[in-house]
């Protein structure tokens, strides 16, 4: 019976944190606030998670993987490779930054305030870059694959996504334009490299 209780507490901590991170942001949310929302004491949070950052990781990783899974389903429903390529950028640079009140900004806030002792995890970003590369290769003709394979293009797309996430938080009126997406698509699909 105690295992069920423990999972219920962990779930309550994550639900409280998600609600607070979404409403207030990572920086303005404290562990005592998370504990209060979960109906437990702050030390109990630390029985489940080493830090507030660990709580965020426990929420953000499955959240981001779910966004990518949804994007993958969306892409499979589109026949046109150029349209799939464009859709990748629309989702990553426009829709994801705004999704669930800009939840992704919490990770940007967390990472910008992290210290070496916070043990920044790179597993999710590496996975995202691999997924983006795979999606891009599926959209490009074979003669254009060299622009993506073994390059930092997927990393650049993630960094641009992070920039649009920050813009969404600090300057909501600033959005990725059609012209930007069209230009990036043209760079990837243009004439064969020399």
CATH number at residue 37: 1.10.10.60
Q: Per-residue confidence at 4, pLDDT binned at 50, 70, 90?
A: low
In the prediction, which pLDDT does 174 show?
Answer: 86
Task: Report how many domains make up the chain.
Answer: 2
Same domain assignment for residues 37 and 82: no
Q: Average pLDDT over the chain, rounded to whole?
A: 92
Average pLDDT over residues 15-19: 98
In the prediction, which pLDDT does 8 show?
Answer: 94
In the prediction, which pLDDT does 116 show?
Answer: 76
Same domain assignment for residues 113 and 182: yes
Same domain assignment for residues 147 and 66: yes
Same domain assignment for residues 38 and 56: no
Q: Per-residue confidence at 1, pLDDT binned at 50, 70, 90?
A: very low
Q: Does the pLDDT at position 138 exceed 60?
A: yes
Same domain assignment for residues 44 and 56: no
Same domain assignment for residues 16 and 45: yes
In the prediction, which pLDDT does 81 show?
Answer: 95
DSSP class of 119? -
Same domain assignment for residues 65 and 138: yes
Same domain assignment for residues 93 and 151: yes
Tens of pLDDT, residues 80-107: 999 999 999 999 999 999 999 999 999 9
Q: What is the pTM of this model?
A: 0.89
Same domain assignment for residues 67 and 23: no
In a domain, 194, yes or no: no
Average pLDDT over residues 153-174: 93
Q: Per-residue confidence at 114, pLDDT binned at 50, 70, 90?
A: confident
Same domain assignment for residues 124 and 96: yes
Give the whole-angstrom CA distance, residue 163 versus residue 175: 10
Q: Are 13 and 43 in contact (CB under 8 A)?
A: no
In angstroms, the Cα distances linking 190 to 11, 42, 103, 177, 181 are 48, 55, 34, 19, 14
In the prediction, which pLDDT does 115 show?
Answer: 78
Give the whole-angstrom CA distance, residue 162 versus residue 166: 6
Average pLDDT over residues 148-175: 93
Instruction: Residue 20: give the domain boundaries.
Output: 1-49
Domain boundary pick from 49, 65, 86: 49
Tens of pLDDT, residues 48-81: 999 999 999 999 999 999 999 999 999 999 999 9
Percentage of the chain exceeding pLDDT 90: 83
Same domain assignment for residues 24 and 89: no
In the prediction, which pLDDT does 5 show?
Answer: 63
Q: Does the pLDDT at position 147 exceed 80?
A: yes
Give the whole-angstrom CA distance, residue 169 versus residue 25: 10
Average pLDDT over residues 159-167: 94
């Amino acid at each position: 019976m105690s295992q069920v209780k423990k999972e219920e507490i962990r779930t309550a901590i994550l639900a409280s944190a998600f609600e607070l991170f979404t409403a207030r942001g990572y920086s303005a949310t404290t562990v005592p606030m998370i504990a209060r929302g979960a109906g437990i004491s702050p030390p109990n949070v630390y029985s489940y998670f080493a830090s507030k950052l660990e709580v965020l990781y426990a929420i953000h990783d499955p959240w981001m993987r779910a966004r990518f899974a949804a994007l993958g389903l969306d892409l499979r429903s589109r026949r046109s490779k150029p349209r799939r390529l464009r859709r990748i950028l629309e989702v990553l640079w426009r829709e994801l930054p705004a999704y669930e009140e800009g939840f992704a900004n919490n990770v940007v806030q967390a990472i910008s305030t992290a210290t070496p002792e916070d043990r920044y995890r790179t597993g999710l970003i590496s996975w995202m870059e691999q997924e983006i590369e795979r999606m891009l290769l599926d959209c490009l003709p074979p003669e254009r694959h060299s622009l993506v394979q073994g390059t930092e293009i997927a990393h650049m797309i993630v960094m641009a996504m992070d920039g649009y996430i920050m813009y969404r938080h600090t300057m909501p009126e600033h959005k990725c334009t059609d012209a930007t997406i069209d230009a990036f698509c043209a760079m990837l699909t243009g004439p064969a490299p020399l």
